[in-house]
């Protein structure tokens, strides 16, 4: 079957920081005629009718009204990852277009990243590495210390798939687990990880040694951790964010870290990404930053690609769509 007979799928491109994974291109081309955004913009007349799906990788291509109006044959938008805050679901649904994402593929690696950041910030790994390799270091001071993790209290904000897997990992560290979520987990699930539900976020913040953000970004959760919430945390508390950057008021966080309101922070996500090179968070020793790499493993990204292929093919063949996102 030649490329011209394969269904057209719009992708961001094959190169650069927003290009689809190079290792996946050959597999995708077995099923689809991949049309880059650059190709489409150069010749909309040729490609508009051919494109039946959009393959979103790292949030690109951007979906707006103009693009939707220019794709009359579009049936599905397949989004790599679980977060959907970059998509206007009501707008997309108004065009009769379906949406699918890949929640299962990202849960384990993002939970791993959450625990990695917790451990790194608690034991000051990045700071310790810099101290160890510095040409100015002549002695290791015995009183250079971090925070204990085993037996500490972890407060998880957002007990979805990722949050629950973080709790499973934290249980192995004998941590006391609190969680705050829009809806409470069933008792059997709580008991399986030893988690206690906090109906009020303030209660979780006051009691936790570590606060882990693993919730999605919505109007309700935007800047949910601000000046007031940070002041409720323990002065020895550490904030970890593997959700979205806009969950946290960055100005309030900088102030809290500089003035000792909390001990440290570890962030896999910020807003914007990357931060401006003169941002104060980049200069603080008690901050650990990673480049939004929660799902960045070869295994997870391949599973994401395979899940997206299944969703697109199901949609094009009129079958139930795996991981379809239903508008609430």
Q: What is the pLDDT of residue 4?
A: 56
Q: Which residues of the chain have pLDDT under 70?
A: 1-4
Helix, strand counts (H, E) of the chain: 13, 12
Radius of gyration for the alpha carbons in the chain, expressed in angstroms and rounded:
22
Closest CA to 290 of 238, 240, 218, 246: 240
Active site annotation includes 185: no
Rounded Cα gap, residues 150 and 280, in angstroms: 31
Q: What is the pLDDT of residue 327?
A: 82
Q: What is the pLDDT of residue 3?
A: 46
Active site annotation includes 174: no
- % of the chain at pLDDT higher than 90: 97
Q: What is the helix (H) or strand (E) element at residue 56, kind and residue range?
A: strand 51-56
Active site annotation includes 184: no
Q: What is the pLDDT of residue 300?
A: 97
Annotated active-site residue in 292, 301, 302, 324: 292
Annotated active-site residue in 273, 279, 301, 302: 273
Q: What is the pLDDT of residue 113?
A: 98
The burial of 270, by beta-carbon neighbours within 10 Å (0-12 exposed, 13-18 middle, 19 or more buried), is given as buried
Annotated active-site residue in 180, 244, 250, 301: 244
Q: What is the pLDDT of residue 170?
A: 98
Q: What is the pLDDT of residue 1?
A: 40
Torsions phi, psi for 70 (to 5 deg): -90, 5
Give how far Cα 210 sits from Cα of 50, 99, 192, 240, 244, Å.
50, 35, 20, 7, 17
Q: What is the pLDDT of residue 2?
A: 43
């Amino acid at each position: 079957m030649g490329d011209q007979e394969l269904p057209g799928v719009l992708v961001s491109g094959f190169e650069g920081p927003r290009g689809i994974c190079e290792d996946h291109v050959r597999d995708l081309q077995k099923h689809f005629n991949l049309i880059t955004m650059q190709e489409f913009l150069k010749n909309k007349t040729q490609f508009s009718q051919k494109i039946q799906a959009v393959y979103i990788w790292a949030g690109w291509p951007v979906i707006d009204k103009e693009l939707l109006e220019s794709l009359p044959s579009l049936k599905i938008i397949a989004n790599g990852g679980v977060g959907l805050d970059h998509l206007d679901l009501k707008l997309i649904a108004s065009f009769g277009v379906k949406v699918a994402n890949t929640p299962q593929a990202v849960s384990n690696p993002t939970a791993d990243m959450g625990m990695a950041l917790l451990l790194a910030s608690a034991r000051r790994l990045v700071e310790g590495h810099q101290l160890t390799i510095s040409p100015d270091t002549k002695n290791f001071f015995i009183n250079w210390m971090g925070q204990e993790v085993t037996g500490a209290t972890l407060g998880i904000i957002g007990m979805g798939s990722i949050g629950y897997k973080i709790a499973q990992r934290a249980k192995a560290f004998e941590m006391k687990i609190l969680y705050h979520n829009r809806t409470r987990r069933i008792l059997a699930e709580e008991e399986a990880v030893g988690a206690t539900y906090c109906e009020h976020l303030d209660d979780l913040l006051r009691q936790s040694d570590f606060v882990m953000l693993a919730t999605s970004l919505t109007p309700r959760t935007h800047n949910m951790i601000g000046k007031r919430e940070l002041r409720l945390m323990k002065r020895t508390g550490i904030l970890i964010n593997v959700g979205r950057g806009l969950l946290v008021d960055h100005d309030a966080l900088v102030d809290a870290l500089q003035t000792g309101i909390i001990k440290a922070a570890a962030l896999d996500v910020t807003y914007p990404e990357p931060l401006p090179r003169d941002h104060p968070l980049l200069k603080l020793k008690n901050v650990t930053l990673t480049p939004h790499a929660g799902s960045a493993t070869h295994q997870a990204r391949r599973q994401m690609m395979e899940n997206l292929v299944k969703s697109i093919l199901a949609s094009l063949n009129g079958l139930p769509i795996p991981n379809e996102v239903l508008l609430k």
